[in-house]
A and B are shown apart, each in its own frame.
Chain A
Amino acid sequence: MSSRIVIEASGLYKLYRLGAMSSGAFKKDLSRWWTVNVMGKEDPFGKINEDGSTETNEQQFMWALQNVSFNVKEGEVLGIIGKNGAGKSTLLKILSRVTRPTKGVVRGKGHIASLLEVGTGFHEELTGRENIYLNGNIMGMTKKDVDKRLDEIVNFSGIERYIDTPVKRYSSGMYVRLAFAVAAHLNADILIIDEALSVGDADFQRKCLNKIREISVKAGKTIILVSHTMHTVQSFCHRAILLQKGSIIEEGLPDHVVHKYLHAIQAKDYFNEYADDDVLAGDADIRVKKVTLDTGSVGDVESINVNTTLYIRFECKSVNPEMDLAVGMYLFSVEGECIFNALSNSIKTSEGTIQGCCIIPGKLLNDGSYFVSLAFIKNGSTDDIFYLEECLTFDVEDVPGQLRWYGNYSGHIRPALSFSLTEKKSLIVT
C-alpha cells in the first residue's frame, strides 16, 4: 500500500424520492420545475443549509447520504459496513458512476470496475464465449484485453466443455462460475465489490476470495468492499468505514469499526421504549409502547450464546375500540434474509394495553447477528398490517465446543437434533 490517494470523496449527499412514480408525481414535478426555473426560487424540496445540515420539506424525499467524505489509498482494501438502508449501496452506486450525487464530488485515478452484481449484461441466447466478451467489454475491457485473458477465464470457470453452448442451457451454478471468472480477471486499478462473494458454492467462493486477495496483494489493486460478513471485513480489509443513516459514524481499523458496529446496534437495540405519546411508533389503531429483549427476567441481558433462551416482549396500546389483533415476529439475519417468522394467537381488543411475549428457545440459532421485526395484523387482513421494522438487534455468541469440531457451523440455525453414531457389530461366522 502506498500513500498515494486514488479516490477522494468529499461532502457527498444523495437525495432520493420515495414512493412510486404516478400522475401525482408528475404534478409535483411540474410545481417544482415552476418554482425553480420560472419563479427563480430555491428548490423547495431537499435544501442543504450553509452549515451542511439538511432538511426535506416533504415526506416523500429522503437523504440516503449526508456529508460523506473519505479517501482511499492505492492498494488499500476498504470495507464499508452498516445496517440495511444505511447508504452503503447508494455510496457504491455513486462510486461506480451509475448515478450522480446530489451534492459533493468524487475524484480519482485509474480505471474503476464495479461488481455490483456478477454477470451484468449476460444474454441468455449468447454462448459462454460470447458472453465473456460482452461482459468484459461492458466492464470496460477492450477486445484485446479479453483475448489475452480468455484462456485464463475459461480455465478459472471450469466449464471448458460448455463454452460454446448458449448460457440459457447452463445450470445456475455454471452460470455463476462463468460470471465470476470474468469478474475475477478484470484489468481494473480499483475494484468495487458488493456482496458478490455470496454466490456459488462454498468451494468456489473460497477460490474467488483467494483470487481477489491475490489481485489485491500482488498487483497492488485498490478494493472497496461492502460486506455484511464481519469476518470478511476483519480478515480482508485494511480499514473500514461504518455508515449509519447516510453518515459516516466511525472510521478506522476493521477490528475497531466492526466492534463499534456490533456494540452500537446491541447497546441501543435490546430495549426500545417509545415513551412520548407523540412519537409512539404506530398507526391509527396501534401504538407500540416498548419492545425489549431479555434472557429470562426483564432487563437481564448479560450475554447471549447459542444455548440461551431469548424472550422478546412488547407492549402496545390499542386505540381502536373493536378489533382482532394478532402479532407476527420476523427474525432476520444481519444480511437481511428472513430466518423464520412466528405468529401469535389472535385476541379481541378494546381500548387498552396489550402485552405479548415470544420465546426463542436456546440451542436453535447459530452464532451471528440477528434482528427482529414485528407485524401487527389487524382483523386477520393481509392489507391492514402495521410493521415495526428492525426494532431489536442482538448477537449470538458461540460456546467453545464440547464436540470434536473446530470449524464454524454453517447456516443461520444450529438446532440440537438427535444425531448419533454407533458402531455396527458385525456377526463373524466361523
Chain B
Amino acid sequence: MKENWSWEIKPASRIPEIKISELWQYKDLLLRFVKRDHIVSYRQTILGPLWVFLEPLIATYVYFYVFSGILKVSTGEVPPQLFFLSGIILWTYFSDVVSSISYSFYQNASIFAKVYFPRILVPISINVSKLSRLGIQMLMLIGMYIYFNVNGQGLKPSWYLLFAPVLILFTALLSLAVGLIIAALSARYRDLQNLMMFIIRLLMFATPIFYPFAQVDEKFKMIIGLNPLTPLLEAWRVMLFGSGAVNGLHLLYGIVSTLVLLVIGVIAFGRVEQNVIDTI
C-alpha cells in the first residue's frame, strides 16, 4: 500500500532542502520574533527608541570633526555631515545584522534543542528588525537633507532614487548572506566568530564611508572596489546626491556577488543547522 506521508525526517543532507511553503506557514513566528526584539530592546530604557537616532548622529559628528576637521577629507559638493550620515546608517545596518546573525546558533541553542521550526527564520527576523531601524534612520537622513537644502545647499536627488528600495533590498540580502556564512562557520568553533567579526570591523576601512570612492588612489581602487558593499554604497550616494563613482558594470558586480554569497550562505547555514544541537 502506498502511503502519503506529510513529512519525513532523514539523515542530514549535503544540500539542504528549502521549503518556501513552510516558511510561509511560520510567518507569524517571524513577526513575533521581530516584535520581541523591539520590545526587549526598549523596555526599561530611559530614552527608548531615541537611541536609534542618537547613535548615528553622534557617530556622524565624531567623523565630521575627525575627517573633515582634522584630516581634511574632501566630500566634494556634498556637506560632510550628510555624506557621513548616509554612509554610517547603511554600514551600521550591515555590521549590526552580520554580527547579530553570526550569534544565531549560540543565542538560540536552548530553543533549537527543543522545538523545530525553520531555523533560517531567526536570521531573517534579525534582518527585518534591523531593517525597521534603518527605516527610522532614513527619516533622520531626510530631515538633515531638508535642513541643509533650506540653508542653501541646493542638493538635488537623482531620479534613480526611485530604485532605493531595490538597493536596500540588496544591502539586506548581502548582510544576510555574510551573517549566514559566519554563523555556519562558527557553529562548531566559536573562535572563528571572533576572527570573522574582526575582519568585518577592518572591512569598514575598505568601504567608502568617510571618503568618496572617486578620491581613492588608483593603487587601492581595485581592492576597495572588490568589496561588494562599495558599489552599493556609491549607488546609494548617486541616488541621494547625484554624485558618486559607480558604473553599470561595477553595480552588476555588486548584485551578482551578493546573490552568489546568498546562495553559499543559505546552503552553509542549512547544512550546519540540521545537526547543530549535537555540537553546540
Query: A residues within 8 Å of B by Cβ?
Result: 5, 8, 16-17, 21, 26, 29, 93-110, 112, 114, 116-117, 120-121, 123, 125-126, 130, 133-134, 137-143, 166
Candidates A16, A110, A123; contact of B36 at CB < 8 Å: A123
Q: Given known contacts A120-B114, A125-B40, is B32 in contact with A133 (CB within 8 Å)?
A: yes
Most chain A C-beta atoms within 10 Å of own C-beta, residue among B11, B31, B35: B11
Q: Are A102 and B11 in contact (CB under 8 A)?
A: yes
Q: How far does the alpha carbon of A123 sit from the alpha carbon of B44 in the complex, in Å?
A: 14
Please tell me if B6 contacts chain A, counting CB pairs below 8 Å.
yes
B41 → A minimal CB distance (Å): 9
Tell me the chain B residues, 84-125 only, with Cβ under 8 Å from chain A: 110-117
Q: Are B29 and A138 in contact (CB under 8 A)?
A: yes
Q: Are B7 and A99 in contact (CB under 8 A)?
A: no
Inside 8 A of B274's CB, which chain A residues have their CB? 99-100
Q: How far does the alpha carbon of A101 sit from the alpha carbon of B4 in the complex, in Å?
A: 21
Name the residue of chain B whose CB is nearest to the CB of A118: B114
Q: How far does the alpha carbon of A95 sit from the alpha carbon of B189 in the complex, in Å?
A: 27
Most chain A C-beta atoms within 10 Å of own C-beta, residue among B3, B29, B44, B189: B29
Inside 8 A of B29's CB, which chain A residues have their CB? 137-138
A257 → B minimal CB distance (Å): 25
Q: Are A21 and B111 in contact (CB under 8 A)?
A: no
Q: Are A108 and B278 in contact (CB under 8 A)?
A: no
* 8 nearest A-B residue pairs (beta carbon): A97-B116, A107-B5, A137-B29, A106-B9, A116-B114, A143-B28, A100-B12, A137-B32
Inside 8 A of A123's CB, which chain B residues have their CB? 36, 40
Q: How far does the alpha carbon of A21 sit from the alpha carbon of B116 in the complex, in Å?
A: 24
A selection of 28 A-B contacts at a CB cut-off of 8 Å is A16-B278, A17-B278, A17-B279, A29-B188, A94-B9, A96-B114, A98-B113, A98-B116, A99-B277, A100-B9, A100-B10, A104-B11, A105-B8, A106-B9, A107-B3, A108-B6, A109-B4, A112-B7, A114-B115, A114-B116, A116-B114, A116-B115, A130-B39, A133-B32, A134-B32, A140-B117, A143-B31, A166-B43
A11 → B minimal CB distance (Å): 11
Inside 8 A of B40's CB, which chain A residues have their CB? 123, 125-126
Most chain A C-beta atoms within 10 Å of own C-beta, residue among B25, B36, B40: B36
Q: How far does the alpha carbon of A166 sit from the alpha carbon of B43 in the complex, in Å?
A: 10
Q: Are B39 and A21 in contact (CB under 8 A)?
A: no
Q: Are A103 and B7 in contact (CB under 8 A)?
A: no
Question: For the side of the interface on B, what is the size category?
Answer: 35 or more
Inside 8 A of B39's CB, which chain A residues have their CB? 125-126, 130
Name the residue of chain A whose CB is nearest to the CB of B108: A121
Inside 8 A of B116's CB, which chain A residues have their CB? 96-98, 112, 114
Please tell me if B275 contacts chain A, counting CB pairs below 8 Å.
yes
Q: Are A106 and B275 in contact (CB under 8 A)?
A: no
Q: How far does the alpha carbon of A142 sit from the alpha carbon of B189 in the complex, in Å?
A: 35
A421 → B minimal CB distance (Å): 48
- Known interface pairs A100-B9, A101-B9; 18 further A-B residue pairs with C-beta atoms within 8 A, sorted by A's residue number: A16-B278, A26-B189, A93-B113, A107-B5, A107-B9, A108-B9, A109-B7, A117-B114, A123-B40, A126-B39, A130-B35, A134-B36, A137-B28, A138-B111, A138-B115, A140-B26, A142-B28, A143-B28
Q: How far does the alpha carbon of A100 sit from the alpha carbon of B271 in the complex, in Å?
A: 11
Q: How far does the alpha carbon of A351 sit from the alpha carbon of B188 in the complex, in Å?
A: 46
Inside 8 A of B25's CB, which chain A residues have their CB? 142
Inside 8 A of B113's CB, which chain A residues have their CB? 93, 98, 116
Q: How far does the alpha carbon of A134 sit from the alpha carbon of B33 in the complex, in Å?
A: 8
Inside 8 A of A97's CB, which chain B residues have their CB? 9, 116
A345 → B minimal CB distance (Å): 43
A270 → B minimal CB distance (Å): 36
Q: Given known contacts A114-B114, A121-B115, A138-B115, is B36 in contact with A126 (CB within 8 Å)?
A: yes
Most chain A C-beta atoms within 10 Å of own C-beta, residue among B25, B275, B278: B278
Tell me the chain B residues, 248-280 only, with Cβ under 8 Å from chain A: 274-275, 277-279
Tell me the chain B residues, 180-194 only, with Cβ under 8 Å from chain A: 188-189
Q: Are A99 and B3 in contact (CB under 8 A)?
A: no
Candidates B3, B36, B277; contact of A130 at CB < 8 Å: B36
Inside 8 A of B31's CB, which chain A residues have their CB? 143
A300 → B minimal CB distance (Å): 46
Inside 8 A of A108's CB, which chain B residues have their CB? 5-9
Q: Given known contacts A21-B188, A130-B39, is B114 in contact with A98 (CB within 8 Å)?
A: yes
